[in-house]
Structure 1
Amino acid sequence: MPEPIPIKDHEKETRLVNKRLLACALLVVAITCTLIGRLYFLQVVEYDYHSTVSENNRVHVLPITPTRGLIYDRNGVLLADNRPSFNLTVTRERTTDLKGELDQVVSLLHLPAEDRALFDKALKQARHPFVPVTLFYELTEEQIAVLAVNEYRLPGLEVEAQFVRHYPMGAHFAHSIGYVGRINEKEAKTLDTVEYRGTQSIGKTGIEKFYEPELHGHVGYEEVETNAQGRVMRVLKHTDPVPGKNIVLSLDAKLQEAAEQALGDRRGAVVAIDPQTGEVLAMVSKPSYDPNLFVTGISFKEYTALRDSIDRPLFNRVLRGLYAPGSTIKPEVAIAGLDSGVVNASTRVFDPGYYQLPDVDHKYRNWNHSGDGWVDLDAAIMRSNDTYFYDLAHKLGIDRLHDYLAMFGLGERVSLDMLEEAPGLMPSQAWKRATRRQPWFPGETVILGIGQGYMQVTPLQLAQATTLIANKGIWNRPHLAKTVDGQPPVDAHPMPNIQLKDPVDWDLVSHGMQMVMHAPRGTARDAAAGAQYRIAGKSGTAQVVAIKQGERYDRLKTRERHRDNALFVGFAPAEHPQIVVAVMIENGEAGGRVAGPVVRQVMDAWLLDPQGHLKPQYASPAKVPAVPHV
C-alpha cells in the first residue's frame, strides 16, 4: 500500500524565501556600500594623488637643452662653437620592443657591434623614460633616408637636429680649450639631475671643464600634452633655456700659430705670458690631437692609437710635463743668494771646470770642462757657469734654497684656471725624510743649484718664475680666460709678492740675463742677433739620464729619447717687459742653440709689426745702456 504524500507547508517555505531575499538584499547593500566607499576614497580622499598621476600620464615636462657658450681668442677669433647635427634619439616610454628596435637600427644602418654596445650604455645612463636619449650622432643623408622609410617599424625612435660642439681650429688649441664629450656613468651620478636633463655632453678637459657651469647655461622646459601613443598633441607651457656664457680667452691665435711654427715637428712645449696681467698669450704642447674626435664619441681604434702613441699627443706638456729645469732657474738661485747676503754682485768664484765639496773627492762638472776662471754674478749668469752656482747652492743650504725657490712658485700649482696643472716637486729635507726615509746630503743641494736632482717643474711654472723676475716680484697668476660673460676672472687666493731687502737685486739679475743674449760671450747671443729690442734670457740643458763620474755626454752613443732636454726662458723688452716666453724641447740637447731661437721667434711675432719693425707701444721709454763686453 503506497505511502501518503505529505502536505506542503506553505508558511515554512514563505519564511525560507524571505530569509534568502533578505540575505541577498543585505549582500547587495554591502556591495553597494563598499563600492560607494571605494569611490569616495579614490575620488575624495586620494583625489590629489590620482589627479596628479592622471595629469602626468597626459602632460609631460620635456627639457630644452641650453646652447653652450662660445669661446673666442683675445681678438674675437672663434675657437669653439656649436654646429647643427642630425642625430638618432629614442624615447623609451614610446617604444614597444626596445631591444628589437635597436637591433633593427644596427642592421638597417650596417653599424658595427661596438655601436650596439654604446646604445645600451647610453640608455643605462638615462634616468627618465620620457626624455629622448641620443644614440647616434652625425647621421648621413643616406642613413636619414633609411630611417625615414622604416619609421613605422621603429616607434619611439626619431631623427632630431641638435647642436654639437665644434672646434674650428682643430688641434691648435686642444691642450688649452680642451674638449667636451659624452657624460659617463661616474659623471652622471654627481651632476645636477635638473640642470643636465637632456644634456648629453660635458666639458672633459681644459677651459671646457674648468668653466663648465658658466658654459653650460640653464635648462629650459616645455610642458606638453600627449595622447596614449605618446605623440605630442599640444604645448601647454614653454620656458626658454638660458644659454651658456661666452668666454674670451687671453690666447692670441696668430701668436699661437707662430709658436707652433717655431717649435716645428719637435716634441715640446711653448708658453707665453703677459707679465703685466698674467694673461697666457700662447700655449703650445706638441704633438697635439683633434678634439673634435671626442665630441660625439671617439672610436676604440682611434682612441687606442692616441693613447698608445710613443709621442703622447694627449699629454699636456705645458701643464702636466714634469722636467728638471736645468740652468733656467739660476736667476732665481741668484736672487736667493743676493737677498740672503750669501753673495753680492762682486763676489767671485774660481772655476777650474769643476766643483768639489770640502773633503770630498767627487767632482761636479761645469758644462765648460776647461773652466771660466774667476767669475762674478754677471759672468756666472752670462756663461751659465755651473761651478759658481754649485758653490752658491752649497753656501745657501737646502732650507734657504727651498724657501726662496718656493716663493717663485716652483714646485706648486700657479695657475688660476687650469685644472690639469701638476704641482711639480721642490724637494726639501722634510720631503726626503717623508718619502725616501733618508737624510738630505750636501751633494743633493749642490746639484739642485743648477736645476738637477729631485726637482721637477712644469713649463708653466718656469714661465711664471721668469715672470716674477720680469715683474720684480709682483705676482699675477697665469690664466687663460680674459673675460667670462664680459667680466675678468677674479683671483680668490692671490699669492704674496716677493719683497727683497734691496730691490736693486732684481736689476742685477736682469742685467745678467741680458748679457746671456747680447754679450759677446753670452750662451744665447746667436738667438738675439739682429733683435730690435733687448732680451733678458736664460738657457738650460737638463739631463734625462745620469752620466757616470768621469764620463762625458756623447750624443752619438745616446738614444734619441735619452738625450738632454733643451730649455729656455726669457722676457722682452728687457727694460719694460711685455712678454715672457718659456720653451721646453724634449731631447733637444742644447738650450741656447735649440730652444733659444724658438723664444726669439715667438717674441718677434708679438713685438714686431708685419714689416718687421718694433711696434710703437713696445718702444723703450728711455735709452738703455749698452751691456759691457766681458
Structure 2
Amino acid sequence: MTVLKNVKQELGRFRLRLLAAAAFVLFSFGLLLARLVFLQVIQHESLSDRAESNRITVVPIVPNRGLIKDRNGIVLASNYSAYTLEITPSKVPDLEATIDALAQVVEVQPRDRRRFKRLMSENKNFESLPIRTKLSEAEVARFTAQRFRFPGVEIKARLFRSYPLGEVGSHLIGYIGRINQAEKKAMDEWEEEDIANYRGTEYIGKLGLEQSYERELHGITGFEQVETSAGGRAVRRLAHRPPTPGNTLMLSIDIRLQALVEELYKDRRGALVAIDPRNGEVLAFVSKPTFDPNLFVDGIDADSWRDLNEDLDKPLLNRALRGTYPPGSTFKPFMAMAALNSGKRSASTVIMDNLTYSFGGRTFGSPESDRPGPKDMRLAIVSSSNVYFYSLANEMGVDLIHDELEPFGFGRKTEIDVQGEVSGVLPSQAWKRRYFARSPANQKWFAGETISLGIGQGYNNFTMLQIATAVSTLSTGGQRFKPRLVREIEDVVRHEQRRIASDALPPLPLKPEQVEVIRNAMYGVTVEGTSTEVFRGAGYKSGGKTGTAQAVGLKAGERYKDIKADERKRDHSLYVAFAPLEAPTIALAAIVENAGFGSTSAAPIARRVFDFMLMGQYPSEEDIALTQQGKTKAPVGQPRRIDQVPLPGQVSQAEAAASGVVAAASAASGVAATAPTAASAPRIPSPAARPSSAVSTSRPASAPRALPAGASGVRP
C-alpha cells in the first residue's frame, strides 16, 4: 500500500510539473506571438521604412559650380575634376600607420599630413577627409590594386575650382574653401530647403564674388537612391535626380583692363576703381598686391598662409573695398561743389593766396610748387591752391561740409554687390562724439580741426570705391547709381540671361551751370594744371585732379624730408578723373601708396586706362616698364592694339599665327605639328597642368590714415 501511495504521489507531482512546463511553454509562445503581432502589425510601417533605409542609400550629387566670366566672356573661374585619396578617421584603427603605409603607394608630402591634421581638428571623425588631392592616373591604379590593405581609405572623384588667370582680379573674384565648423554652425540656422541643398557640399565661397554670389553659383544638389548589400556595396540604382549646375556670373569688369592696371602697378601698393557713370557698372576693381586664389582651392598649406598673412604689404587686404585713405587735393573739386551748392562761396569770389594760412595760432602751408596770387574757384582747382580751400573749410564748418558731401557717398557704404565694404570717415561733430564716446575729453570739435579738411586731410578717410563713385556722380551732374560688379546672371539650364541693373538713386539737386564750373576746372587741370604733361596728346578731353596725401601726420617742427627716408611714411599719390569730358563713359579714382606726387604715379596710370577704354590702345612694353617705376608722363613708344596683347597664360595672336605657319609647314612635310594652329583659340592651362604662382613675399598692413593734425606742407 505504501508503494502504491508513493507512486500516486510521484505521478501527481509529475503531472503538476508537466502542467507548469506546458503553461510556461504556452506563455512563452504567447509572448513570441504577441511580439510577432506587435512587430508585424503594429510596427509594420515603421520597421519597413527602417529596413528599407538599411537597404537603400540616398547619395547627394554635388552640382557643378557656376562659371564667372568678364564682360567679354573670358572665363575667370571654372571647374575641373580630379581624384582625391580620402580617409575616414573613425574607420581606421591606426591612423599614423595607415598614412605611413599609404605613403609607400602614393606620394604623401609633409604639407599633406599637416593639412590632414588641420582638417581633422576642424571636422568630425566620421567625415571623409582628403590626405592627397589631384592624383595621377598611375597613383589611382596603384592604390586601387592594393585597396584591400586600407580599410577606411578610398578614392573619390571631386570637382575642383580653377582660376585660370591666377592673381589677376583675385580680390574681386575671391576664392572657395572647405566649409569650417563656424560655417557649418551658421548653416544650422538656414531654412530646411537650403540645408538640404548643401548636403554633400564640402566647399563654399570664402571671399569676393565667390562668397557674395554663393547661392547663384552653387546650383541645386541632385541625388541617387542606391540599393546596397549587407557589406555596404552598391547593387543597383533605384532612382536618380541629376544636379542643376550653378548659374554663370557675367561681370561688368573688363579683365584685360584689370590685368593692364595690375601690371602697371607691378610691385607697388595701391588701388584703382573705374566706373561707367551712365549705369554704375564697375569696369576695373584693382587692389595691389594680389594673391593666387588657386592656393586656397584644396586647402592652403601653412607656409603659404604664413607668407601671405605676415607679409608687410598685406596682399590679402582688398584695398579698393577696405583700404581707407585721406583723399588729399582730389577732395578740392568736391569742396568747391559744396560751396556752390550751399551758397557759401561763388565761383567768381577771389581769394588772395599768400601760400600760408594762419588760424588759432597755427600756420598752415602750401606745396613748394604753388605760386602766390589772387585765385578764383577755377584757378584754385587748376593750381591746387591750399589757402583757397583752407579758408573755404573755415567758412563752411565741419557740419556743413559733411551735409553737402555725404550725398556724394563719402563716409558711407556704396552697397556694392560684394561683401566686406567699410564706410570710411566723413567727419562731423556728431561723428566725433560717437567715435570718442569712451573719452569725453576728446569729444569736442575744435575749429582748427576743420581747416585741414578743406584739402582732404584731417579725419577724412575714404575708400577708392567711394571716391570713384563720387567722381562718377559729379561727372554726370548728380546722377547716382549703386556700383555693381555683376552685369548679368545666366541660367545655364534654361539658357536665359537675367540682367542685374544697378539701382538708380535719386539724383542730387545740382545746378548744371555750377557743375559746369567744376567740370571746366577739372578739364583745366589736364591742359594747364598739374596733369598737363600726363595728358598731352590725348585723343579725347578729360577732367581730373591730382592729389598728394600725407600717410602720417607731421610732428611739431618736423619737416617732410625728415620722414621721407622711410618709404612707408612717404605721401600717397592720388588721381581722380572722368572722360570724355562732354559725355563721360568712365570715371575713376586711383592711389599708389607712398609714391609721392599725384602727377608722377597715379595720373599716368589713369591716362593709360582712358587710352585703353576710349582709344582701344594698349601701352608699349617700354611704356609699361617706365610707368611701373613712376618715370612716365604721356605714353612713350608705339601703342599696341588690345587684341595683340595676351592675357596671363594665353598666347598672342601673333604667336598663334606663327604656330599656324609651323603647323602648315609640318603638314606639308608630313610631320605632325605640336604647336596650336592659328585657328585654335588661345587656351589657358588649368592649375592641374601648370605650377601655381609663387606666393608674394610682400603684404599690406592696414591702409595708412592721416592724423588730425594740420596739413602743413601738403603737395597737390
Does TM, normalized by the shorter one, top 0.5? Answer: yes
User: Structure 2 counterpart of 1:595, which letter?
Assistant: A
Deviation at residue 239 of structure 1 after TM alignment: 0.4
Q: How does 1:69-108 map to 2 (within 5 A)?
A: 69-90=66-87, 95=91, 97=93, 99=95, 101=98, 104-105=101-102, 108=105
Query: How far apart are the structure 2 equivalents of 1:598 and 1:418?
Result: 25
Query: How far apart are the structure 2 equivalents of 1:77 and 1:5?
Result: 115
Q: Is the 8 A contact 1:413 1:421 kept in 2?
A: yes
Q: Is the 8 A contact 1:543 1:564 kept in 2?
A: yes
**Measured at CA, do residues 30 and 96 of structure 1 come closer, stay the same or move farther in structure 2, by a change above 3 Å?**
farther
Deviation at residue 63 of structure 1 after TM alignment: 0.4
The corresponding residue for 1:379 is 379
Q: Is the 8 A contact 1:560 1:587 kept in 2?
A: yes
The corresponding residue for 1:498 is 508
Query: How far apart are the structure 2 equivalents of 1:43 and 1:96?
Result: 38
Does residue 166 of the first structure (1) align with residue 173 of the second (2)? no
**Measured at CA, do residues 96 and 89 of structure 1 come closer, stay the same or move farther in structure 2, by a change above 3 Å?**
closer
Does residue 489 of the first structure (1) align with residue 500 of the second (2)? yes
Greater radius of gyration (CA): 1
Does residue 14 of the first structure (1) align with residue 2 of the second (2)? no
The corresponding residue for 2:199 is 197
Deviation at residue 497 of structure 1 after TM alignment: 2.0
Deviation at residue 258 of structure 1 after TM alignment: 2.2
Query: How far apart are the structure 1 equivalents of 2:308 and 2:12?
Result: 97
Which ranges of structure 1 fall in alignment gaps of 5 or more residues?
616-630
Q: How does 1:357-376 map to 2 (within 5 A)?
A: 357=359, 360-368=360-368, 371-376=371-376
Q: Is the 8 A contact 1:122 1:135 kept in 2?
A: no
**Measured at CA, do residues 259 and 369 of structure 1 come closer, stay the same or move farther in structure 2, by a change above 3 Å?**
closer
CA deviations 1:154-204 (Å, max 9, x no partner) are: 234322332210000100110111111111111112234311121121111
Q: Is the 8 A contact 1:166 1:292 kept in 2?
A: yes
The corresponding residue for 1:138 is 134
The corresponding residue for 1:154 is 150
Deviation at residue 316 of structure 1 after TM alignment: 1.1
SS at match of 2:412: coil
The corresponding residue for 2:673 is none
Q: How does 1:533-612 map to 2 (within 5 A)?
A: 533-549=540-556, 551-554=558-561, 557-610=564-617
The corresponding residue for 1:337 is 339
The corresponding residue for 1:628 is none
**Measured at CA, do residues 557 and 169 of structure 1 come closer, stay the same or move farther in structure 2, by a change above 3 Å?**
closer
SS at match of 2:591: strand
Deviation at residue 15 of structure 1 after TM alignment: 1.7
CA deviations 1:548-596 (Å, max 9, x no partner) are: 4555421774311100001000001111111112110000110122211
Does residue 480 of the first structure (1) align with residue 477 of the second (2)? no
Q: What is the TM-score of this pair, normalised by structure 1? A: 0.91
Query: How far apart are the structure 2 equivalents of 1:545 and 1:490?
Result: 40
Q: How does 1:408-427 map to 2 (within 5 A)?
A: 408-427=408-427
**More moved, 180-189 vs 363-372:** 363-372
User: Structure 1 counterpart of 2:53, which letter?
Assistant: N
Q: Quote the RMSD (CA, aligned, Å).
A: 2.4
The corresponding residue for 2:280 is 278
Q: Is the 8 A contact 1:350 1:373 kept in 2?
A: yes
Deviation at residue 434 of structure 1 after TM alignment: 2.1
**More moved, 137-146 vs 417-426:** 137-146
Q: Is the 8 A contact 2:108 2:132 kept in 1?
A: no
The corresponding residue for 1:307 is 309
SS at match of 2:15: helix
CA deviations 1:34-79 (Å, max 9, x no partner) are: 0100111111111122111111111000000000000111001111
**Measured at CA, do residues 369 and 613 of structure 1 come closer, stay the same or move farther in structure 2, by a change above 3 Å?**
closer
Query: How far apart are the structure 1 equivalents of 2:28 and 2:113?
Result: 55
Query: How far apart are the structure 1 equivalents of 2:234 and 2:17?
Result: 56
User: Structure 2 counterpart of 1:465, which letter?
Assistant: A
Q: Is the 8 A contact 1:539 1:567 kept in 2?
A: yes
**More moved, 156-165 vs 598-607:** 156-165
Query: How far apart are the structure 2 equivalents of 1:173 and 1:393?
Result: 38
SS at match of 2:50: helix
Deviation at residue 287 of structure 1 after TM alignment: 1.3
Query: How far apart are the structure 2 equivalents of 1:445 and 1:614?
Result: 48
Q: Is the 8 A contact 1:249 1:483 kept in 2?
A: yes
SS at match of 1:83: strand
Q: Is the 8 A contact 1:283 1:318 kept in 2?
A: yes
Deviation at residue 495 of structure 1 after TM alignment: 3.6
Highest RCO, 1 vs 2 (Cα 8 Å, sep ≥ 6): 2
The corresponding residue for 1:442 is 447
- Percent identical pairs in the alignment equals 41
Deviation at residue 489 of structure 1 after TM alignment: 2.1
SS at match of 2:318: coil
User: Structure 1 counterpart of 2:615, which letter?
Assistant: L
